[in-house]
Amino acid sequence: MKCLLLIYFTLTCFISISDCNPSLSYYDESWILFKRTYNKEYNSIDDELNRRIIWEKNVKMIEKHNFEADSGIHTYTMKVNQFADLTLDEFVKQMNTLKINDRKQENKKFEIPSNINLPSSIDWRTKGWVTPVKNQGQCGSCWAFSVTGSLEGQYAKKSAKLISLSEQQLVDCSAKYGNAGCNGGFMDQTYQYIIDNHGIDSEDSYPYEAFDRPCRFNSTNVVTNISSFVDVKSQSEMDLQYAIATVGPVAVAIDAQHDSFRFYSSGVYSEPDCSSTNLDFSLLVVGYDTTKDNVDYYILKSQWTTQWGNQGYVWMSRNKNNQCGIATMASYPLI
């Protein structure tokens, strides 16, 4: 009988924490669930208390936003994710470390093809040109993921083989090109590194570790090289859309230093405080489309796992005055 009571009590506690401890509030339960979901551990009681305060402030902000979204004030929703115990400043310093160059070098420029009508929608995931959503971890390597994403698409286009490429190689081996590993990097300089290095290894042969390591590039594991790279006309959404439609997935940079982006969940993202020039995060455009309500959007692939956003993706406003700088610094490699 005692065993049965113990089993019953255990199951009841599993179903509802507050049933076993009526003193727990809604936020107490949610905090426990948050730590379990994202495997959060803290160095001390004081550290956890501080993180709990930050987390609860973020949760209340998200709840307020979603209430307003339900009322039609916003076109997108937000949700609690792995970044909820960080302040905005901590998040930006840890995750958004794209570096911007002045583009004085003579790169190839994208030219809109003649006699081609822009399709109303495109999604390169359906063609097998996009690898699954990856995990950047606590490393400021967004620049490496956007480069590999665009190159993976071009390699799939040419070879009909989708192979995940090594971000860790770019983190470890491209310092001479101005990159700083987990402390940030440049997209254009990274393309140049791959050209000069005569290729990039596969993810399988040079797996991602989310911290800086000595360079271990092995030429026998090279998947592909690139011959050059192309910069899309800055701030031209028309050029960007033609590039997406005719070339494939394109690397882009945006202003992502906003709580609204950090906690994005679903819908078409639109941030009135976004800058079109102060860019700090890079990701991959894999297509574009229009909602049933006639709202245009780009389909952007992030590298914050499928727990972030809409299964790792965000719908960014399209044809809305270069929202968040989506068309300011777009590029892609040529094989």
Domain boundaries, the chain: 27-78, 88-334
Using pLDDT thresholds of 50, 70 and 90, give the confidence band for residue 107: low
| Whole-structure pTM value | 0.89
Q: What is the 3-state secondary structure (H, E, C) of the chain?
A: CHHHHHHHHHHHHHHCHHHHCCCCCHHHHHHHHHHHHCCCCCCCHHHHHHHHHHHHHHHHHHHHHHHHHHCCCCCEEECCCCCCCCCHHHHHHHHCCECCCCCCCCCEECCCCCCCCCCCCEEHHHHCCCCCCCECCCCECHHHHHHHHHHHHHHHHHHCCCCCECHHHHHHHCHHHCCCCCECECHHHHHHHHHHHCCEEECCCCCCCCCCCCCCCCHHHEEECCCEEEECCCCCHHHHHHHHHHCCCEEEEECCCCHHHHCEEEEEECCCCCCCCCCCEEEEEEEEEECCCCCEEEEEECCECCCCCECCEEEEECCCCCHHHCCCCCEEEEC
Give per-residue pLDDT as tens, 264-316.
999 999 999 999 999 999 999 999 999 999 999 999 999 999 999 999 999 99
Say whether pLDDT at 116 is over 80.
yes
pLDDT, the chain, mean: 91
Say whether pLDDT at 225 is over 90.
yes
Using pLDDT thresholds of 50, 70 and 90, give the confidence band for residue 3: very low
Give per-residue pLDDT as tens, 63-106.
999 999 999 999 999 999 999 999 999 999 988 888 877 554 55
Give per-residue pLDDT as tens, 139-196.
999 999 999 999 999 999 999 999 999 999 999 999 999 999 999 999 999 999 999 9
Name the CATH architecture for the domain at 88-334.
Alpha-Beta Complex (3.90)
